[in-house]
Structure 1
């Protein structure tokens, strides 16, 4: 990133109680390879989960939604990317809304518990309350999602001596709108869940489009003359942590009708590590992130948003 000249610079904006940050430079990236595909309403969450015996796993949870209902896919991989277990609940009126799946992989006994029968949803296919989803390996709980912990412990029917050792690595989500796109994200550990609002509009009827990003209602980023600055990066602070924001809205202006913009919020890994390999898209990068995070103690959280325009 330091090899590219800075095209514009503005002060960073702080959320919470840390000092302000600065610096923004134009990032180069290739056009998103999925512009010709039909947008799907989905959220992909990736977790690093560790047994207290130090064994480590990467768990990918995909929440989907269509006219038939909610869907869920969960896959457990080891750090060599070998799949240990997979659960798929397709969006259907007849899908099991609660259940238990047990499988064996070598010496590992894997149990997956879920109950979505009373789950509540907002606009996202990811439930917000009234559910649980849990995974245990060799009778040790490694992942627990939802707000029904007591029901999980009762269902598992054995003592829980430790809370799950889980790190939320990344979230990838498709969001939809005409000029405004909204989602939520938790950038660190058990920190605050923040509301993220992305707006693309003209400042006046005669001016060029402008990109605004707000977190918890506070404007943290503004990019004017967006048709000229359709790719770039900018640093903000959230919960006292530096968060690098990358955007690529080229497809909104110059792509096909099915094109989408891509936004990346990254809390830890440096810009050089993310983009130093040259012309690399967010999507080609995101797959390698999972592998890198599984081998690193210093990884942060990443949020990748695919923003589709509803004309």
Structure 2
């Protein structure tokens, strides 16, 4: 099974543990939006989103079946509409590109620990946000995965209707929820990237925005906002290119970590990584073993100057 601590996140994010110490953690509450957000967004643009990868943890109803980590990746295609890839629970299983807009596919298991999967999807009527460049659809689609005669993943506004019609309501449904989201974007100067996420099961959905802007004096600033409220504001990024801060969302701690070293000091394409990850308790530490065993939801924004 894929390690829960890795969450199928980019290696650059996992390497943040060696760059940011727990002693540097600061705690702050989100404050009302100030002129920073207005000034940053006034002349900003939306970066081009190369891909959106969402990892789900499915807990089958059978107590003998282990949890499954399943990943969907939405990507732009240079030759046509966005594409969809799927990665199963086995660490050795490569991602499978679902080339057709609608279809079914069976994925056999490579070992006894993981069950074979049946995939069903339909993107023929998928709709995308008009003002965004994201390859992730917002409506008009479904993706369903079935294992051991049980729905282990159902994504899209048409998923429930498909399951009801396909299985006549006679198939059980596992408990599943997203545990990470990784957005890869190409960011122009003063660009801002936004994503809608839930940091905990049953919690409200929030719009998280990450932006980098240049002041009139030529200094670079990084800011992160939650629902338009400033949560993080870091100045002089060429000195403060790595760091972390703890904020509170819905009364619970969320760690914000950033690493902009690659953006400033490496050759093209140059990469900056910002991660927001929910923590199980204020007393815990992000990289302790017990926290990694049952990590909270993580949002990762990986920004590059040019396409890879």
Q: TM-score, normalised by structure 1?
A: 0.73
1:108 to partner: Cα distance? 4.4
Alpha-carbon distance in structure 2 between the residues aligned to 1:138 and 1:65: 32
- Which residue of 2 is the match for residue 52 of structure 1? 61
- Tell whether the 8 Å contact from 1:15 to 1:238 is kept in structure 2 after alignment: no
Shift in CA distance, 190/115, structure 1 to aligned 2, threshold 3 Å: farther
- Tell whether the 8 Å contact from 1:234 to 1:246 is kept in structure 2 after alignment: yes
- Tell whether the 8 Å contact from 1:15 to 1:239 is kept in structure 2 after alignment: no
1:202 aligns to 2:202 (yes or no): no
Unaligned 5+ runs, structure 1: 17-38, 91-95, 277-288
1:110 aligns to 2:117 (yes or no): yes
1:231 aligns to 2:242 (yes or no): yes
- Which residue of 1 is the match for residue 287 of structure 2? 273
Alpha-carbon distance in structure 1 between the residues aligned to 2:153 and 2:101: 19
Q: TM-score, normalised by structure 2?
A: 0.73
Cα distance per residue 1:267-303 (max 9 Å; x no partner): 12654526x9xxxxxxxxxxxx9xx96xx4x321111
1:104 to partner: Cα distance? 4.6
1:132 aligns to 2:131 (yes or no): no
- Which residue of 1 is the match for residue 97 of structure 2? 88
Aligned length: 261
SS in 2 for 1:306: strand
SS in 2 for 1:77: coil
Coordinate RMSD, CA, aligned = 3.3
- Tell whether the 8 Å contact from 2:154 to 2:160 is kept in structure 1 after alignment: no
Shift in CA distance, 118/5, structure 1 to aligned 2, threshold 3 Å: closer
1:237 to partner: Cα distance? 1.2
Alignment of structure 1 residues 94-243 onto 2, 5 Å: 96-105=100-109, 108=115, 110-122=117-129, 123-160=133-170, 162-178=172-188, 179-184=190-195, 185-203=197-215, 205-243=216-254
Cα distance per residue 1:195-218 (max 9 Å; x no partner): 222222233x22421111111111
